[in-house]
Amino acid sequence: MGLNTKVLAAAAALILLALAAAFLAFRGGGQDEIVIQGGGSTFAAPQVYEWARGFSSKYPEIKVNYASVGSGSGVAQFLEGTLDFASSDPPLDKSQWSKLEGEVLQMPVLLGAVSIVYNLPGLNEELRLNGETLALIYLGEISYWNDERIARLNPDIDLPEEQIIVVYRSDSSGTTQVFTYYLYKSSGGLWPESLVGKTIDWPVAKTGRGIGGKGNEGVTQVVKNTPYSIGYVELSYALENQLPMALLENREGNFVKPAEETIASAALNALKELPDNPLDDWSPALDSIIYTEGENSYPLTSFTFFIFRTKYSDEKIEAIKLWIEYINTEGQDRMIPGYIPIPKEIASINLKALEIISRG
């Protein structure tokens, strides 16, 4: 990236002082509470709620509302003009970005992971899985837990002869896009590119062994309440609900669990392929971080992106800039379990938005 992060940090600090002064002057005019409306990713929702609480404590005159409606719905509402910002696990795809070039800013604001959770009564050992077996499970071709292809990865576990209940997202979901892209990239050609996206016609649904859940919350509850099930959820939901998580085989052939060090490893290996401006096309970021290289990299790591406009009204502009500054500075020290901060190099890129956003 070749960024002088110290210079950028100093510039951001000066901009912040100017923003705060401008905002105080604006508030001095007796204006009502300012509300920033956001929505999208359920993957990121717990962390966004935490940021909103911290931000409103610092700036009581500004309220951040966030609707955990899924990445697809959040982006759609943002593009319709009903949201001030959207949250999406994958960035805008290249075709979307091309139509909006110069009108939107994208910034990766946090790191998380999609965990593979399961409900196997009586199993105390950690299950090992890889892209091939997960693809076959979601294709409906592996039906039983003691299938030889799962057993081969878990020679020391006595797997039950029980049908696998396969749980997936029923709504338009960035978590689903991350998961299906991982299957496409890691399964050796078993998972077709046509089945990568936010909304999937799941092959396993045709077998009668599939159950849909709305949001990460919905999938979590289905797995939690359904013996012999498997699903994919954001790490914080797995941790909060104490669901067992599979070790996944990474690109180097090592089985790793989602954890701070394995997520950070994936992010650091992805850095060299990322853009250096929030105005740029960030669509390659999905490929750069999923199933990336690194002995200790967790293969289902993902950024979550915030998407903003380049122009805001007089009423909102200073509040939006303060929100962007907060999530890329103090907010990165306020992470809840299941998420980890973005590298400082990326935060410096994101803070360029403070100079780009203008009135309009």
Q: Are residues 39 and 139 in the same domain?
A: no
Q: Which of 14-28, 175-189, 225-239, 276-290 has the lowest mean pLDDT?
A: 14-28
The C-alpha angle with vertex 236 and arms to 60 and 111, in degrees rounded to 5, equals 75
Task: Say if residue 225 is exposed, middle or buried (CB neighbours under 10 Å; 0-12, 13-18, 19+).
Answer: exposed
pLDDT in tens, 257-309: 999 999 999 999 998 889 999 999 999 999 999 999 999 999 999 999 999 99
According to the model, what pLDDT value does residue 3 have? 42
What range defines the domain where residue 337 resides? Answer: 5-110+302-359
In a domain? residue 277 = no
Question: What is the band of 20 on the pLDDT scale with cuts at 50, 70, 90?
Answer: low
Q: Are residues 118 and 247 in the same domain?
A: yes
Domain boundary among 233, 261, 289: 261
Q: Are residues 98 and 135 in the same domain?
A: no
Mean pLDDT of 344-358: 96
Q: How far apart are CA 130 and CA 254, in angstroms?
A: 10
Q: Are 37 and 69 in contact (CB under 8 A)?
A: no
Domain boundary among 261, 286, 318: 261
In a domain? residue 286 = no
Q: How far apart are CA 165 and CA 174, in angstroms?
A: 22
Domain boundary among 238, 261, 284: 261
pLDDT in tens, 44-55: 999 999 999 999
Residue 307, CA distances (Å) to 39, 84, 108 in order: 10, 9, 9
Q: How far apart are CA 333 and CA 348, in angstroms?
A: 15
Q: How far apart are CA 301 and CA 269, in angstroms?
A: 11
Beta pairing, strands 247-249 & 128-129: parallel
Q: Are residues 119 and 14 in the same domain?
A: no
Q: Are residues 128 and 254 in the same domain?
A: yes
Q: How far apart are CA 289 and CA 174, in angstroms?
A: 15
pLDDT in tens, 315-342: 999 999 999 999 999 999 999 998 999 9
Task: Say if residue 129 is exposed, middle or buried (CB neighbours under 10 Å; 0-12, 13-18, 19+).
Answer: buried
Q: Are residues 90 and 190 in the same domain?
A: no
In a domain? residue 288 = no
Mean pLDDT of the chain: 92
According to the model, what pLDDT value does residue 194 have? 97
Q: If DSSP codes are grouped into helix, strand and coil, which group holds residue 266?
A: helix
DSSP string, 202-234: -GGGGGT-EEEESHHHHHHHHHHHSTTEEEEEE
Q: Are residues 44 and 150 in the same domain?
A: no
In a domain? residue 270 = no
**Domains: count for the chain:** 2
According to the model, what pLDDT value does residue 32 have? 79
What percent of the chain is modeled with pLDDT above 70?
91
Q: Are residues 127 and 206 in the same domain?
A: yes
In a domain? residue 75 = yes
pTM for the predicted model, two decimal places: 0.85
Q: Are residues 167 and 190 in the same domain?
A: yes
Task: Dig out the tokens for 237 from the structure.
Answer: 């939901």
CA atoms within 13 A on the CB side of 232: 27
Q: Are 294 and 265 in contact (CB under 8 A)?
A: yes
CA torsion sign for 88, 73, 197, 168 is: positive
Q: Are residues 121 and 180 in the same domain?
A: yes
Residue 222, CA distances (Å) to 119, 169, 177, 225 in order: 10, 11, 20, 5
Q: Are residues 127 and 104 in the same domain?
A: no
In a domain? residue 279 = no
In a domain? residue 77 = yes
Q: What strands, in cross-sheet order, belong to the sheet with 62-68? A: 62-68, 34-40, 85-88, 301-309, 104-119, 229-234, 165-169, 210-213
Burial 178-205 (b: 16+ CB within 10 A, else e): bbbbbbbbbbeebbeeebbbbebebbbb
Task: Dig out the tokens for 329 from the structure.
Answer: 């500075």
CATH code assigned at 213: 3.40.190.10
Question: What is the band of 360 on the pLDDT scale with cuts at 50, 70, 90?
Answer: confident
Q: Are residues 148 and 252 in the same domain?
A: yes
In a domain? residue 285 = no
